[in-house]
Chain A
Amino acid sequence: MIINFLIAAVLAGAPLVLATVGEIITEKSGNINLGVEGTMYIGAVASLAGAVAAEKLGLSGFGVAAVSFIAGALSGMITSALFGFMTISLRVNQNVVGLIITIMGTGIGNFFGELMGQGAGGYISVTDETKAVFSGIHIPGLSSVPVIGELLFSYNGMVYFSLAAALAAFFIIKKTKIGLKLTAVGENPYAADAAGVSVTKYRYIASVIGGALCGLAGMYMCMVTNSGVWVHGCISGYGWLAVALVIFSAWNPLKSIFCSIIFGALMIMRLYIAIPGLNPFIYDMCPYIVTSIVIIITSIRKTGKDHIPESLGENYYREER
């Protein structure tokens, strides 16, 4: 029971890891992209469309998964490139652009999701073979080891990908020169520019990579959580949770893994912990109530202050007077 709960928590937390790490990378460059939710919707619908199209072209199994993966990542990159163009090149207010992307992405996702469903006669779904690719792996000998084997080796490939992405992001940000320069751009773009670091380049690349991860988080929601079926409103606030999780994890990709799994647990608690007489919808409120409380506590304690990139949310213009 406990084991199943933990496994379910990890499964529910994985898309949060992807989206949070993506947003951390973006914010490290000083850009705050509030369009995570919208980017996830676009990634979700694009990956589903990609998978369906690949099936029609006669691909199967991992071929379909690969096309779906690429579609999810690419659509996220395009969406965040739009964010980058508006904020970095045109210097539009980042909050406004982020909200635009959320509203637009939600609309695009649901519109095309429903459209595909109608075209397929009711609802759209991938084949069982494709679904199998996105379900848990089985490594003979390891996966069947009680407890440890189940806890470590029973997930789908995307879970391992998201953990790898978090580790890689941590390593690059904290240990490499690129990470140092990225941090400098986010802390003080004027200093970075004077030191010869291209603020524009770093902000574009960070935003686009972050967008790719958010797109993949959307893909996870559609292909793994909903088993390749379009569900109206399927992202349902996960993108916003990721924005908050960036703060909880203090802009540290490693911490984001733990924070995401805790929130994953809160998301699926209803199915595993039943208190008689308690309305199940109370459980669904939990992640959002906890978010509010934690944000209030962190604001009061000002713990985030040491970690928040100093220029977060400010557009850079060299000739500013």
Chain B
Amino acid sequence: MEVVLETKNLCKSFGAVMVNDKINLTLHRGEIMAVLGENGSGKTTLINMIGGIYYPDSGSIYYENKRVEIRSPKDADRLGIGVVHQHFKLVSSMDAVENIEIALSDKEYKNKADIRKRITDVAKKYGFTVNPDKKICDMSVSEKQTVEIIKAIIKGAEILILDEPTAVLTPQESSSLFNVIRSMKKDGKSIIIITHKLQEVLDISDNVYIMRKGRYIDTLKTSETDENELACKMVGKTVTLQIARTSYEKKKTVLSVHNISCLSDDKTVGLSDVSFDLKSGEILGIAGISGSGQKELCECIDGIREVTSGKIKYYAEEGNFDITNKKPEWRRKNKTGFGFVPEDRLGMGLIASSDMVDNMVLKSYKDEAGAFLHRKKAADIAKYLIKKLDIATPGIHTPVRMLSGGNVQKVLLGREIEAGRDVLIVSYPVRGLDINSSYMIYNLLDEERKRGTAIIFVGEDLDVLMALSDRIMVMADHRIAGITDARTVTKDYLGSLMTDTKGQVI
């Protein structure tokens, strides 16, 4: 097969960190190549160099065997390289037509009607559905992605690079995206798809290009490999992809949510009429397209977002409390056992520039008498957590921002587990973490379940949710689309709930 794109010894460093070290990649015409690697392995940096966002420190890029200089996204366009970035590069106040219009030069189109026609033509050819006159800000994530792909095709892309395209899609949307990718391949286009999901690699790609810590590791033929081999090559050591689900027998209801509604940050609907019970020793997984009300739900239960109607009841050993709109101060005074790990760890969870001790003090200083801080007790907790959770840090006085993502999460999770003896809310706890840290977090949550803690686990990977949770609640459009038994549910059913609201509630 003919080579369309080749990189030779591409290097890129940011400060002292070498994020791409002598990367050689060869892409053939009509090939679907998966670039596989963990977060921070340098995948995105590599495609940003091919796409003209970053300029390489050294090394060269060849397009159809000719050496090329790609200094800007425009240069990449001219060569026929289209990149769909993970964070879409679309102007949200404009519609699809206008977004494509700004990307075309005067010679490339006649008028808006011409662009509109081309959008529908491309959509028909590859099997998309899109409304060219809809504003980007009114579109779903999957529609935005469609606009990005159509934009790349209209600009004449022969090579399409997709950065983590399925991260935000439902299973159904992913499989229709894969169909589009396959029909583009038939059309003679070459595709690079960047991902860290093993199953996807096996589903779609012809070849797998594996990276780890900024280096090239191996290229494998997809048909000759399996999930375990890919995981080992990606991580660099053998990993066991096992998630434990321990059953807890002495279940009793600890939290019951009755018809709560709330507003979102921009005063639109945040939650609408949400009701469910949470039992001790269970993990309630929450699935759904991000932004369907998960964040608001966690914050309402934790008392940091105002509930406009409905009630939240908490059944503790000391008695029953109505905790609707009870602020954290009240909760601390009444010693409720709530822990919350927000998705924005270094924003809402921890103070990045403070050390572990100060981050522990944050939770306890109000309970102490006098005007002075008592760091001794907090330091003990910090030391205990380092030991218990095996946190890799130079010491308890190192600012938490200096720690790796996995260790930051352990610090936060450790602190909140201590606080959350009854209810623990974790939101996207493994986002951005490597495989080993992720599985360590899953096991920690299972440990907590064994102790009888009720856990609300907001996640994005359906396979993990199905393996870890006892029940799965799917949220769609700020309401509950359905609650199902995690042991028997299928992925397709969950996917259909994400975009629908006709599921059953158990």
A195 CB contact (under 8 Å) in B55, B92, B93, B102: B102
What separation, in Å, do the CA atoms of A193 and B90 have in the docked complex? Answer: 10
Q: Tell me how many residues of A have a C-beta within 8 Å of chain B.
A: 20
B92 CB contact (under 8 Å) in A192, A193, A310, A321: A310
Cβ of A181 under 8 Å from chain B: yes
Given contacts A177-B101, A321-B14, contact A196 B90 (CB under 8 A): no
Please state if B72 and A184 are interface contacts (CB–CB under 8 Å). no
A180-194 Cβ-contact flags toward B at 8 Å (1 or 0): 110110011011111
Given contacts A194-B85, A196-B74, contact A187 B93 (CB under 8 A): yes
For A311, give the chain B residue with the smallest CB separation.
B91
Given contacts A187-B92, A188-B92, contact A195 B53 (CB under 8 A): no
Residues of A within 8 A of B94 (CB): 180, 183-184, 187
Question: Nearest-CB distance from A287 to chain B (Å)?
Answer: 31
Cβ of B103 under 8 Å from chain A: yes
What separation, in Å, do the CA atoms of A183 and B101 have in the docked complex? Answer: 12
Residues of B within 8 A of A306 (CB): 93
What separation, in Å, do the CA atoms of A171 and B90 have in the docked complex? Answer: 24
Residues of B within 8 A of A197 (CB): 102
What separation, in Å, do the CA atoms of A270 and B31 have in the docked complex? Answer: 77
Given contacts A192-B91, A321-B14, contact A180 B102 (CB under 8 A): yes
Please state if A188 and B74 are interface contacts (CB–CB under 8 Å). no
Please state if B89 and A196 are interface contacts (CB–CB under 8 Å). no
Question: Nearest-CB distance from A239 to chain B (Å)?
Answer: 28
Please state if A191 and B90 are interface contacts (CB–CB under 8 Å). yes
Residues of B within 8 A of A180 (CB): 94, 98, 101-102
Residues of B within 8 A of A181 (CB): 102
Please state if B74 and A177 are interface contacts (CB–CB under 8 Å). no
Question: Nearest-CB distance from A321 to chain B (Å)?
Answer: 6
Q: Which of B1-32 contact A (CB under 8 A)?
A: 14
B54 CB contact (under 8 Å) in A184, A190, A191, A319: A319
B55-97 Cβ-contact flags toward A at 8 Å (1 or 0): 1000000000000000011100100000101011111111000
Please state if B72 and A193 are interface contacts (CB–CB under 8 Å). yes
Given contacts A183-B91, A184-B94, A319-B53, contact A191 B99 (CB under 8 A): yes
What separation, in Å, do the CA atoms of A187 and B98 have in the docked complex? Answer: 13
B91 CB contact (under 8 Å) in A184, A196, A321: A184
Cβ of B106 under 8 Å from chain A: yes
Residues of A within 8 A of B54 (CB): 318-319
What separation, in Å, do the CA atoms of A321 and B90 have in the docked complex? Answer: 18
Q: Which of B141-161 contact A (CB under 8 A)?
A: 151
Q: Which of B352-402 contact A (CB under 8 A)?
A: none
Given contacts A177-B101, A321-B14, contact A188 B91 (CB under 8 A): yes
Please state if B89 and A194 are interface contacts (CB–CB under 8 Å). yes
What separation, in Å, do the CA atoms of A194 and B161 have in the docked complex? Answer: 13
A294-321 Cβ-contact flags toward B at 8 Å (1 or 0): 0000000000001000100000001101
Residues of A within 8 A of B85 (CB): 194
Question: Nearest-CB distance from A291 to chain B (Å)?
Answer: 26
Question: Nearest-CB distance from A181 to chain B (Å)?
Answer: 5
A192-234 Cβ-contact flags toward B at 8 Å (1 or 0): 1111110000000000000000000000000000000000000
For B90, give the chain A residue with the smallest CB separation.
A191
Of A188, A196, A306, A310, chain B has the most CB atoms within 10 Å of the CB of A196
Please state if A177 and B106 are interface contacts (CB–CB under 8 Å). yes
For B82, give the chain A residue with the smallest CB separation.
A194
Given contacts A181-B102, A194-B85, A197-B102, contact A318 B53 (CB under 8 A): yes
B98-110 Cβ-contact flags toward A at 8 Å (1 or 0): 1101110110000
Question: Nearest-CB distance from B40 to chain A (Å)?
Answer: 11
Q: Which of A162-183 contact B (CB under 8 A)?
A: 177, 180-181, 183
Q: Which of B23-51 contact A (CB under 8 A)?
A: none
What separation, in Å, do the CA atoms of A310 and B90 have in the docked complex? Answer: 12
What separation, in Å, do the CA atoms of A183 and B98 have in the docked complex? Answer: 11
Please state if A192 and B93 are interface contacts (CB–CB under 8 Å). no
Residues of A within 8 A of B53 (CB): 194, 318-319
Q: Which of B97-126 contact A (CB under 8 A)?
A: 98-99, 101-103, 105-106
Please state if A196 and B92 are interface contacts (CB–CB under 8 Å). no
Residues of A within 8 A of B92 (CB): 187-188, 310
Given contacts A183-B94, A195-B99, A318-B53, contact A190 B89 (CB under 8 A): yes
Question: Nearest-CB distance from B92 to chain A (Å)?
Answer: 7
Please state if A195 and B89 are interface contacts (CB–CB under 8 Å). yes
Please state if A184 and B102 are interface contacts (CB–CB under 8 Å). yes
Question: Nearest-CB distance from B41 to chain A (Å)?
Answer: 15
For B105, give the chain A residue with the smallest CB separation.
A196
Residues of A within 8 A of B90 (CB): 188, 191
Question: Nearest-CB distance from A189 to chain B (Å)?
Answer: 10
Please state if B103 and A195 are interface contacts (CB–CB under 8 Å). yes
What separation, in Å, do the CA atoms of A197 and B155 have in the docked complex? Answer: 14
Please state if A196 and B77 are interface contacts (CB–CB under 8 Å). yes
A196 CB contact (under 8 Å) in B14, B73, B87, B99: B73
What separation, in Å, do the CA atoms of A310 and B54 have in the docked complex? Answer: 24
For A321, give the chain B residue with the smallest CB separation.
B14
What separation, in Å, do the CA atoms of A319 and B55 have in the docked complex? Answer: 9
Given contacts A177-B101, A180-B98, A318-B53, contact A193 B73 (CB under 8 A): yes
Q: 5 closest Cβ contacts across the A-B interface?
A: A195-B103, A194-B89, A196-B74, A191-B89, A187-B91
> Which B residues fall within an 8 A CB radius of A?
14, 53-55, 72-74, 77, 83, 85, 87-94, 98-99, 101-103, 105-106, 151
20 contacts between A and B (CB under 8 A): A180-B98, A183-B91, A183-B94, A184-B91, A187-B92, A188-B89, A188-B90, A190-B87, A191-B88, A191-B89, A191-B91, A192-B91, A194-B83, A194-B85, A195-B73, A195-B89, A195-B99, A318-B54, A319-B53, A321-B14
Apart from the given pairs A177-B102, A184-B99, A196-B103, 14 other A-B contacts in the complex at a CB distance below 8 Å: A177-B101, A180-B94, A183-B94, A188-B91, A190-B89, A191-B91, A192-B102, A193-B72, A194-B83, A195-B103, A310-B93, A318-B53, A319-B53, A319-B54
> Which A residues fall within an 8 A CB radius of B?
177, 180-181, 183-184, 187-188, 190-197, 306, 310, 318-319, 321
